Structure 1
């Protein structure tokens, strides 16, 4: 089993020893409830780095709804067992007071790229993400960090954070891992009822059809309207957004000109699912 560390001072002592030996350190930041998507990030880190840290911390600052924070799955023992065969050196699982001690008063905010989409629907979410990611980079002193492309906007926010603050960590974005029926793997999928789980792949399927239509020259506004209706007809309760955006700056686009992503967020059975694909 990987060593579980709960305080920064012990972690820094371990990492200092690795770096004295010239070992590159990779970090995979997670909130736990690990699945094959997370494990693919760990394998990527293991392939690049002599030492690998997986962080498990359910970050309260990135949740908008207290109820959502409370019901987020916490499965540390099972997570550690999943990581054991992958050669993870340390699981850093700090308590809240270690990350946000009494008197904590700093917020990291990445403007612009964090404003639309998730930023518009979850005010303050990306401030919480940027703050905890900056802290985790400082705590782990990692050389490389690994994030999934399923959270595409988050990946762009982290890239901008690192560039703007001249942080000495290389960010690697890894492909979204999907279930056999196309549903993007997510810790939240465990909260889906049987009926909701059966309907959930319709989001990705609608996006795939919409992307094909756009590549075929169909008008973007009409395609996006049809995709929204298709997702609702499939049994989703709400579509918060399904939009075509430039891949890097996330500006709204109406035609294929440079790298483009289709991004979506929708609610089904009280569970919020997000997805994105290249167009």
Structure 2
């Protein structure tokens, strides 16, 4: 966990550096540059809080528990090895004492003395072994709970510091959100206005299509007759003038 946390902190620092570089490239726009710089400072503080949290986790959980395992548990294992060895010696002494010939008092006395010494040693080591078990159980409970309590205190401090930092930044974030909402509205209005102007300009510069002669302005349209149907009569205004009918007097004839 600690190693993964350190990798996360390194990646977060690279991200903050990228935000700062972007802020430097946006020096022409004061709003963007100020916003990025302020957010980068806040993110850097959060990264520092993360680093403190992982350091405390390193000390409270990893080092403390490793010390408990390497020292106390190791002593317990050594005591257990000695206890097992003396127990085996006691079993051998019991076997030798039981197998000692009774008609040889010297061997019986020697086996009995060895059994007595081994039994005393076993009892002392048994007491030490039981004491080590009780001490280890009590210390294990204390070490585990104390390390986890320290880690949770570190977590609490981390979130309190982060909340305090973001609480101070909250008014600026709300102000920026309101400005962004107004910017969206202004952008939509400007977009509609530009679209209207664009449509008006296109309507103005669009070339007028040429109409056929029979569809010229001011001349009424006449439908074309269908094949096999007589043409409709022309209106009187469109008929040619009538020729005068010659009379008999004009022809020079007399009756």
TM-score (norm 2): 0.19
TM-score (norm 1): 0.18
Q: Which has the higher strand share?
A: 1
Larger Rg: 2
